[in-house]
Chain A
Amino acid sequence: MSDVCIIGIGIHPFGRTEGMSGVDQGVYAVRQALADAGLEWPDVQFAYGASDAAGNPDTMVDQLGLTGAQFINVRNGCAAGGSALFSAQMAIKSGECDIGLAVGFDKHPRGAFDAKPSEYNLPEWYGDAGYMVTTQFFANKIMRYMHLHGISREALGRVAEKAFRNGEKAPHAWRRQPVPLDEIMNAPMVSDPYSKYMFCSPAEGGVALILGSEKKARELGKVPIRLKAATMRTRPPGSFEVFAPCVDIERGGSATNIASRDAFRIAGISPEDIDVAQLQDTEAGAELMHMAENGFCADGEQEKWLIEGLTEIGGKLPVNTDGGCLACGEPIGASGLRQVYENVVQLRGDGGARQVPGQPKTAYSHVYGAPGVSAVTILER
């Protein structure tokens, strides 16, 4: 079976872009990715497109050209981008196609996501009572985690502080101003223990990845960035998820646990072999908990990792080198693909001021979302 390679990448900067629709930002990213790959739109045999709130991705053929290419829309919560990428690589692995596109974009209104109970198979009263608020879950999850594993609130602050510092060095990031730790700690609270700097905001942006067979990558003369694994998993029994009116007393693993475990198995490597990681950080505690859920450290070790700077760009395992969701914001359809974009940049050595030193060879990405979905990729140069 042929390895699948990422042969072109494109991004529309994240944040807020007045006058440009979500689809427009997706098209912008696709054109950039095609140019990066040295291809034209008619060369693309198929596409998978992810968007949560910005319309049907396949409508972009209006702008890209009516070539008749197969174009499948993916809507899968926060795992939408990961699901698009998973599906795209399968089409190439199967031998059916050799050049394809995974694209994701979104454009959300300001403020918290406005989820409705019916979309999650929940009773109406749950929304009436004020529980359709994602931040409540994230805050409850970290509060329990801090209690069990002795994590301080300052550790949360350190994650956010690093995010804005890394974001400053990433041209596609939204928040590009460093914020001092004490300002993060003392900012107004949104949902205890999180202050406003410790949550990401819904945002806008677009990302496109051109995938090709190994043979195609060689023909095009590209440094092959191999997609060694792409997994998407739903939740196991006993997990604690967004929008949960109840949780089992007997605790189980998470969707992240199994997506991660299976990705490492498929790639044939282990967490110690990863040189750079992008981990879902919709809030500061998520990055910290996901370090453990993805197998990079034990529960409770994060406090020490942060104090010693092990997740800094020059550290043992650089995490969220472009500032992650905290600095880039979260356009749901694009967010997971942004992580893969950033990993390709790092593996190519094109990271500029945020480049991980020592020519990283392996890169890991992870997203998590409602109602308990996770997607992981492992790239290798």
Chain B
Amino acid sequence: MKAIAEGLFTDEAAPRLIGGRNRETGRIVFPCPANDRFEPVPLSRTGTLWSYTIQRFRPKSPPYKGPEAFTPFPVAYVELPGETIVEARLTDVDFDAIEIGMPLEFAPIPLDPDAAESVLIPAFKPAGAAA
């Protein structure tokens, strides 16, 4: 499966998000802006939960391209130490077990788990949990 957009994840066995480093200030952002002021940099695979919510209704289409059948999903912000705080889904975790500060690792998931050719979107799972 491929990422939902070019240039979001690295192409390696354990992929990482690709951020952008400002060539002048060193500030890191995600995703990497498509201009000369930023250079792409792979971001940390691990981080901690900064905040989250549970999306309880199906987002409007367009623009949402997820499956018609809706199941609630967590939308989180994950702090990657020394880099930036990125927005991503959480996966492999009970909603009741989500806690701000919990250690997480990058684990992209399909946008539509039931589709054969689904694209992958950024997600994090509890650190050390089985995939």
Whether a CB of chain B sits under 8 angstroms from the CB of A136 is yes
Interface size on B, residues (CB 8 A): 40
* Bound-state Cα–Cα, A56 to B67, Å: 36
A114 near B60: Cβ-Cβ < 8 Å: yes
A133 near B84: Cβ-Cβ < 8 Å: no
Whether a CB of chain A sits under 8 angstroms from the CB of B31 is yes
Whether a CB of chain B sits under 8 angstroms from the CB of A116 is yes
Closest to A136 in B: B75
A125 near B8: Cβ-Cβ < 8 Å: yes
A245 near B31: Cβ-Cβ < 8 Å: yes
A249 near B8: Cβ-Cβ < 8 Å: no
- CB B62 to nearest CB in A, in angstroms, measures 7
In the complex with contacts A125-B4, A244-B87, A189-B59 CB distance below 8 A: no
Whether a CB of chain B sits under 8 angstroms from the CB of A20 is no
Determine the chain A residues whose CB is within 8 A of the CB of B55 once the complex forms: 130, 133, 136, 191
Interface size on A, residues (CB 8 A): 35
- CB A145 to nearest CB in B, in angstroms, measures 9
B84 near A248: Cβ-Cβ < 8 Å: yes
A130 near B85: Cβ-Cβ < 8 Å: no
Closest to A248 in B: B84
* Bound-state Cα–Cα, A160 to B57, Å: 21
* Bound-state Cα–Cα, A245 to B19, Å: 11
In the complex with contacts A116-B62, A131-B75, A189-B31 CB distance below 8 A: no
In the complex with contacts A124-B63, A136-B55, A143-B87 CB distance below 8 A: no
Residues of A within 8 A of B (CB): 111-112, 114, 116-117, 123-125, 127-133, 135-136, 139-141, 143-144, 147, 188-193, 244-249
Q: A129-B89, A147-B100 are in contact. List 17 more A-B contacts (CB 8 A).
A: A114-B62, A116-B63, A125-B4, A128-B65, A129-B65, A130-B59, A131-B75, A132-B59, A135-B53, A143-B51, A143-B100, A144-B100, A188-B56, A191-B53, A192-B95, A245-B86, A246-B84
